[in-house]
Chains A and B, each alone.
Chain A
């Protein structure tokens, strides 16, 4: 995605989460992936967005969160996303995505099934077995 990211009219957690939910609906509708989407936000701006694309890319790692992190890294030109947070659709991220958030140095994980009911998933951790 080299195109410019469309920013919400009003920056708010609900607006960012709504964008993640919209990405989720779109990727499922197109058949590119399962219904998961995510955005990376820093300083009240979306700096990366992604949707599940396991079918489109033939890529088992292409969950919404991983795609959003890759997109943000690419646009910023840095593998370090310190100071940014992730808004992701659905439940808590799977261990692959949660650990990807940890490696990207994201500050916080937020997830939700509805934009007006966001769960604070806390600071990404490496996690335990």
Chain B
């Protein structure tokens, strides 16, 4: 009797946990975004510490950070080394493909036209910018 009751309780607890997980997944809790944008700002701090321009970006796939991008324009002496470009390049290396479908780009500032289009070519799903985590939607071709 006790055994059956504890089994029932266990099943209910498992169901509750399942429901909570589902709710969290659907709601995309704001704290998940804020954690990721904080990582982008950490990249910005790294860029500044290394003597580069004050920009940072990261690429996330299914809740996992797969691309890191501190600005490397000055440190790598690369005119195309904006933070977003570096994060996209790093993500491509991590996944072993140029196709970053299903990935999200978090960046500390509004992407320039080069970076916006790079995110478009990478099939990035969504772009979030700045400390207020503005949803910029799907990246466009040139905008």
Contacts and interface: CB of A to CB of B under 8 A. Distances in A.
A61 B118 contact: yes
A6 to B, nearest CB: 23
Contact of A99 (B89, B114, B123, B140): B114
Contacts, number: 102
Main secondary structure on B side of the interface with A = loop
Contact of B117 (A54, A95, A103, A105): A95
A116 interface: no
Interface string A57-84: 1111111001001100110111111000
How large, as a class, is the contact surface on chain B? 20 to 34
A54 B98 contact: yes
B73 interface: yes
A122 interface: no
Contacts of A127: 113, 142
Sorted nearest first, the 4 A-B pairs with minimum C-beta distance are: A95-B142, A60-B122, A96-B117, A99-B114
Interface of A: 54-55, 57-63, 66, 69-70, 73-74, 76-81, 94-100, 102-105, 126-127, 129
24 contacts: A54-B98, A59-B92, A60-B92, A60-B99, A60-B100, A60-B121, A60-B123, A61-B121, A69-B80, A73-B78, A73-B79, A80-B79, A81-B79, A95-B117, A95-B142, A96-B117, A96-B120, A96-B121, A97-B114, A99-B117, A102-B114, A103-B79, A104-B80, A126-B113
Interface of B: 73-74, 77-82, 85, 88-89, 92-93, 95-100, 112-118, 120-123, 140-143
